[in-house]
Amino acid sequence: TLIAMVLVCASTLAQKPPRSHRDAAIALGEEGLALLEQGEHAAALRKFDAADELIPAPTFGVRAALCLERMGRLVDALERYERVAAIRVDASWPEIHTKAQQEARTRAETLRMRVARLRVVLQGESAEPPTLKLDGNLLSEEASAATVLLDPGEHVLEFAHGTAVELRRFRVAEGEQRTEGFLLGVRTEDSKSTASPHRTLGWVGVAVGAAGMVVGSTAGLVAWGKKADLESRCPSGVCPPVAWADNESYDRWRNASTAGFAVGTVALGLGTLLLLTDPGPREATPQPTSGLRVQPWIGAASAGVGGAF
């Protein structure tokens, strides 16, 4: 079988694995392939994981990642594909392992466009940092300050600061970029003014615009590289069948770049306008810790900003 052929000629470990391990990995791999073909992705994942523990090999890892992807666990699948692609190549490997690594890179590239992303914006100052949990899992300060990858679907974001606790339930689509904003309270204990909605939404717009520009620039660089490669492979602008997949990938990155720049331009313009028309601080009593709710989002073909106070 394919699994047996791969393991007999493979040299994925520093030392040749015991025959009992190879035989067990072969059996597990064959069972995993059968379950994968039947659509039993969770069961197939367990088989591939067990085989990969016995003999770490790109062929097992890429199939395990495929199971995760088909189960809707896109973030875990992306991490697994990247782990397979990062395995150090051994010159003695058979070609099937290098092909598995290439498959992992290709699938990871596509998956990066499908995962959703969440950014948390905290406004105000406080000596005590807030606590954030996503789907019940505590987010570290580093993760809270960075973009968090999400699987498409329902999620729960919990914000706790002092005595204030807020739960937000939301749904994200594939490729959506979402921002959730929280207000920590007044800037200092003796301050008698609060920030206006214009300024808060303005800075959120600037942040979303900057993110859009980064996405547009990154995707544009990738598309430019692919275009240069296609020009040499597609004379007169006509690509042979072997280059169709690369041409489709180029179109995806080009469209992503255009969308990123479009969203970035609109968001930056709106944010700048709001900041310039800010009437200034207004007198008010200290507001509750979690009074602000801003929800900019960027999807594959649309974008918008929602909010509540």
- Kindly report, residue by residue over 213-260, the tens digit of the pLDDT: 888 788 788 877 877 776 777 877 677 776 667 777 878 878 988 987
Closest CA to 37 of 86, 2, 73: 2
**Mean of the per-residue pLDDT values of the chain:** 80
pLDDT of residue 156: 95
pLDDT exceeds 50 at position 82 = yes
> Rounded to an integer, what distance in angstroms lies between the CA atom of residue 182 and that of residue 131?
12
Burial environment of residue 147 by CB neighbours within 10 A (0 to 12, 13 to 18, 19 or more):
middle
DSSP element (H, E) containing 91: none
Per-residue burial over 205-218, b if 16 or more Cβ lie within 10 Å, else e, is bbbbbebbbebbee
Burial environment of residue 160 by CB neighbours within 10 A (0 to 12, 13 to 18, 19 or more):
middle
Q: Kindly state which CATH superfamily the domain 2-114 is placed in.
A: Tetratricopeptide repeat domain (1.25.40.10)
> Rounded to an integer, what distance in angstroms lies between the CA atom of residue 122 and that of residue 159?
11
> Rounded to an integer, what distance in angstroms lies between the CA atom of residue 87 and that of residue 11?
13
- Kindly report, residue by residue over 24-38, the tens digit of the pLDDT: 998 999 999 999 999
Copy the structure tokens of residue 76.
């875990």
Copy the structure tokens of residue 69.
């992807």
End-to-end CA distance of the chain: 62
Residues whose CB is less than 8 angstroms from the CB of residue 61 and which lie 6 or more positions away in sequence, other chains included:
48, 52, 80, 83, 84, 87, 100, 104
pLDDT exceeds 90 at position 49 = yes
Domain ranges of the chain: 2-114, 116-192, 196-280
In a 13 Å sphere around the CA of 24, the CA atoms on its Cβ side amount to: 13
- Kindly report, residue by residue over 160-204, the tens digit of the pLDDT: 988 888 999 999 999 999 999 888 864 444 444 455 676 788 778
Q: Are the C-beta atoms of residues 94 and 6 closer than 8 Å to each other?
A: yes
> Rounded to an integer, what distance in angstroms lies between the CA atom of residue 144 and that of residue 236?
49
State the architecture of 116-192 in CATH terms: Sandwich (2.60)
DSSP element (H, E) containing 299: none
- Kindly report, residue by residue over 140-166, the tens digit of the pLDDT: 877 777 889 999 999 999 999 888 889
pLDDT of residue 198: 67
Residues whose CB is less than 8 angstroms from the CB of residue 272 and which lie 6 or more positions away in sequence, other chains included:
202, 205, 206
pLDDT band (50, 70, 90) for residue 116: very high
Copy the structure tokens of residue 210.
């900057």
- Kindly report, residue by residue over 271-293, the tens digit of the pLDDT: 788 777 776 655 444 444 444 45
| pTM across the whole model | 0.56
> Rounded to an integer, what distance in angstroms lies between the CA atom of residue 123 and that of residue 204?
10
Nearest 5°: the CA angle 241, 244, 246 is 135
